[in-house]
Amino acid sequence: MGLRLPSKVLEHILSFIDSNEDRNSVSLVCKSWFETERKTRKRVFVGNCYAVSPAAVAKRFPEVRSLTLKGKPHFADYNLVPDGWGGYAWPWIEAMAAKCPSLEEIRLKRMVVTDECLEKIAASFKDFKVLVLTSCEGFSTDGIAAIAATCRNLRVLELRECIVEDLGGDWLSYFPETSTSLVSLDFSCLDSEVKISDLERLVSRSPNLKSLKLNPAVTLDGLVSLLRRAPQLTELGTGSFAAQLKPEAFSKLSEAFSNCKQLQSLSGLWDVLPEYLPALYSVCPGLTSLNLSYATVRMPDLVELLRRCSKLQKLWVMDLIEDKGLEAVASYCKELRELRVFPSAPDLDEANIPLTEQGLVFVSKGCRKLESVLYFCVQFTNAALLTIARKRPNLKCFRLCVIEPFAPDYKTNEPLDKGFKAIAEGCKDLRRLSVSGLLSDKAFKYIGKHAKKVRMLSIAFAGDSDLMLHHLLSGCESLKKLEIRDCPFGDTALLEHAAKLETMRSLWMSSCFVSFGACKLLSQKMPRLNVEVIDEHPPETRPESSPVERIYIYRTVAGPRMDTPEFVWTIHKNPEIGVSHLAIK
Amino acid sequence: MEVTNGLNLKDTELRLGLPGAQEEQQLEVSCVRSNNKRKNNDSTEESAPPPAKTQIVGWPPVRSNRKNNNNKNVSYVKVSMDGAPYLRKIDLKMYKNYPELLKALENMFKFTVGEYSEREGYQGSGFVPTYEDKDGDWMLVGDVPWDMFSSSCQKLRIMKGSEAPTAL
């Protein structure tokens, strides 16, 4: 009964459907659609490696070509997750190797990857093409050498901000002389020097090389020689730019850059001396992306560079740019879509840079396409937030870090409630929001009510009480990831909105007032959530009402994980523990 | 303590607040130990070294590789002079040696520093430039090589000659 599409026809239709969200919807229609979809899915994304078992994924999607996985919670980036928590890549590599030999691409973020994993990848996937490791750790340059040596069709090898045991620069020489397929190489996070002649030869025999990101050990001379061999580069991460300036060296550098007529993205520039910046002037007009966040250069030199970058869409810079520099950006970089301003002296005590809320206001006013902001600033005002919201309703990502915890609007001494209300209300497409400064529960009432599309929300040192969490969990329709630290709320709101947690990917809370008793109760109530108590002191030895250090709660169909270290408690560790009679209103 | 049938109900009661907090208590958030030092107090700084900075774990939220990237090209330090109403700030990286620095200080505060000798320190003017190093100790400007000084100097203080000998 009813119309049934032949699976070949359905397959053809599905070949036009790329987005995983759409494919997930397709797979829910009926069994045959589920079957056809799963057999044709080429790209699999798993946002939490513990949400589903590797074996289940490998079995369901036998034709997968590209796998993307994320492991540790985001706050691991700021050392809030103790070492050894988890996020191991091995079970996934093993499962894929067994069932999906056609896998070509692996992208991992915040996972523990060992040399064994890398060797397994090299050995198991004959047509392996792309390896991107972001914020990963646990491997050495030996593992990288294995990939370089064995993956004959390797196109992309990117190590982004990984912690790698660096055993020397030999790994580079493992690329066979026959390997000519490289499109992108990023070893910027490695410390050791690689042999420049090896690198030169590799670059020379890779005609498709478009992206090259060097580590600081590569000298300026090395850079010049590489640029001469790869003038077709579209993305470049320089090595160290701090050598003594010789007039001859400068003109060689200038010339090398001017021959790179397709360069669109520039990064690296560690400790660049201001005298070298003019060598970059020739590429500025073509740049769409510029990462100056490691360039300790002062405002006038930055402005001299930036005023030439009329096509710039993405700018990462340190607060050395000052308000004045951002005013210049607002007037010269009209195509700007993303701005990140990092603190040059992150210690709280060192606030001495003339960067205030005014800098961001300038850019919000002048750059009509601005949609993504990450801004570190010592203090802020409601007025500035209101202006930003009014001028830039198209903001999609707004992350403000007021460095001074609990800092109120420094002009009126009020909390920043009104300001963030304006952001939540005005920026209707906001997907990601980080709040900071002095905020009362009211702020979260506004956010809960208005931030309908926010998927990820980060909160630190804010709120007055449980109401804060209550507002967020009863509102924020699209919320998928919530991370909170040092906020004074506790059990009630968490337990009241337990069901909401199943609609989210994860919830992280540290240094709040959630009790061990509540964690146990939540674990019992919600079998499809993994409730992890991450506490250096075993919570079982403390009274149930005592607050735990950190909690990580995530939905999962994989059940309890078996690889928890000692300091992670889950109810599965002692399921016989009963929960005493607790009165929850 | 309420004990019924051997059960300490208070112990297992879910409450908002730290255990043991029966009455209103100022709740201190755990990882923040208060650092009351604020920028506005600059002008009333004492000569004693300030208390050690307290660090909050994982704050501000920057990755460690950014934190290690301490300014190599920019290095602002506060400069105070005894008797001057407010402090100034200079960028140590702007100077390549002691004479340049001292000249800049002399211009900034309108004074002259005396003749420097290793044995006697600064003689002749009544003003003595001193600095606080990374260990929190107050030292005489000029004793160590310039590079060592510029990388360890946290603060400068120009002491008035009459106080200086006893203070150091």
For the stretch A128-183, pLDDT in tens is 999 999 999 999 999 999 999 999 999 999 999 999 999 999 999 999 999 999 99
d(CA A543, CA A131) in angstroms, rounded, equals 47
DSSP element (H, E) containing B140? strand B138-140
Please indicate if any CB of chain A lies within 8 Å of the CB of B7. yes
Interface size between A and B, measured as CB pairs under 8 A: 128
Res B162: pLDDT:
62
Interface of A with B in 393-432 (CB under 8 A): 401, 403, 405
Pairing of β A105-109 and β A66-70: parallel
Half-sphere exposure of A512 (CA within 13 A, CB side): 36
- Quote the number of domains for chain B: 1
Phi and psi dihedrals of A494, rounded to 5? -65, -45
Is residue B129 included in any domain, yes or no? yes
Cβ-proximal residues to A476 (8 Å cutoff; 6+ apart), any chain: A447, A448, A451, A452, A454, A457
The closest CB to that of A582, out of B14, B71, B73, belongs to B14
d(CA A430, CA A444) in angstroms, rounded, equals 15
The closest CB to that of B72, out of A296, A298, A547, belongs to A296
Is residue B39 included in any domain, yes or no? no
Average pLDDT over residues A273-278: 90
Please indicate if any CB of chain B lies within 8 Å of the CB of A485. yes
For the stretch A522-552, pLDDT in tens is 999 999 999 999 998 887 788 888 899 999 9
d(CA A227, CA A258) in angstroms, rounded, equals 10
The DSSP line for A192-215 is SPPPHHHHHHHHHT-TT--EEE--
Cα–Cα distance list, B19 to A490, A518, A549, B58 (Å): 12, 14, 14, 26
Is residue B91 included in any domain, yes or no? yes
Is residue B141 included in any domain, yes or no? yes
Instruction: Check if the beta carbon of residue A135 is closer than 8 Å to that of residue A77.
Output: yes
Is residue B13 included in any domain, yes or no? no
CA-nearest residue to B51 within chain A is: A349
Q: How confident is the model at residue B51 (pLDDT cuts 50, 70, 90)?
A: very low
Encoded tokens for A102? 């056609």
Instruction: Check if the beta carbon of residue A157 is closer than 8 Å to that of residue A147.
Output: yes
User: Of A528, A529, A541, which is closest to residue A567 (Cα–Cα)?
Assistant: A541
Compute the CA torsion angle B106, B109, B111, B115 (nearest 10 deg): -40
Interface of A with B in 114-143 (CB under 8 A): 135
d(CA A436, CA A428) in angstroms, rounded, equals 20
ipTM of the shown complex? 0.88
Instruction: Check if the beta carbon of residue A68 is closer than 8 Å to that of residue A44.
Output: yes
Is residue B139 included in any domain, yes or no? yes
pTM of the model as a whole:
0.81
Please indicate if any CB of chain A lies within 8 Å of the CB of B134. no
Please answer yes or no on whether A517 and B70 come within 8 Å at the CB atom. Answer: no
Please answer yes or no on whether A517 and B15 come within 8 Å at the CB atom. Answer: no
User: Of A268, A262, A279, which is closest to residue A240 (Cα–Cα)?
Assistant: A268
Is residue B12 included in any domain, yes or no? no
Q: How confident is the model at residue A280 (pLDDT cuts 50, 70, 90)?
A: very high
Encoded tokens for B75? 């290095």
Whether the per-residue pLDDT at A237 is higher than 50: the answer is: yes
Res B4: pLDDT:
46
Pairing of β A314-318 and β A338-342: parallel
Average pLDDT over residues A37-55: 97
> Residue A491 CA to chain centroid, in angstroms?
30
How confident is the prediction for chain A on average, in pLDDT? 93
Instruction: Check if the beta carbon of residue A543 is closer than 8 Å to that of residue B14.
Output: no
C-alpha distance across the termini of chain B, in Å? 58
Instruction: Check if the beta carbon of residue A226 is closer than 8 Å to that of residue A203.
Output: yes
d(CA B30, CA A469) in angstroms, rounded, equals 18
The closest CB to that of A465, out of B16, B53, B56, belongs to B16
Please indicate if any CB of chain A lies within 8 Å of the CB of B14. yes
Range of the domain at B132: 76-163
> What CATH number does residue B120 fall under?
3.10.20.90
d(CA B67, CA A403) in angstroms, rounded, equals 14
For the stretch A238-270, pLDDT in tens is 988 777 667 888 899 999 999 999 999 999 998
Please indicate if any CB of chain B lies within 8 Å of the CB of A63. no
Which DSSP state fits A126?
Answer: T
Is residue B152 included in any domain, yes or no? yes
User: Of A94, A348, A115, which is closest to residue B57 (Cα–Cα)?
Assistant: A348
Min Cα distance A19 → chain B (Å) is 31
Give me the helices (H) in A270-321, please: 299-306
Cα–Cα distance list, A140 to A115, A146, A189 (Å): 6, 10, 12
Strand partners, A137: A112, A163
d(CA A507, CA A73) in angstroms, rounded, equals 9
3-state secondary structure labels for all residues of A230-278: CCCCCEEECCECCCCCCHHHHHHHHHHHHCCCCCCEEECCECCCHHHHH
Task: Name the range with the highest mean pLDDT among A340-344, A502-506, B59-63, B131-135.
Answer: A502-506
d(CA A18, CA B13) in angstroms, rounded, equals 51
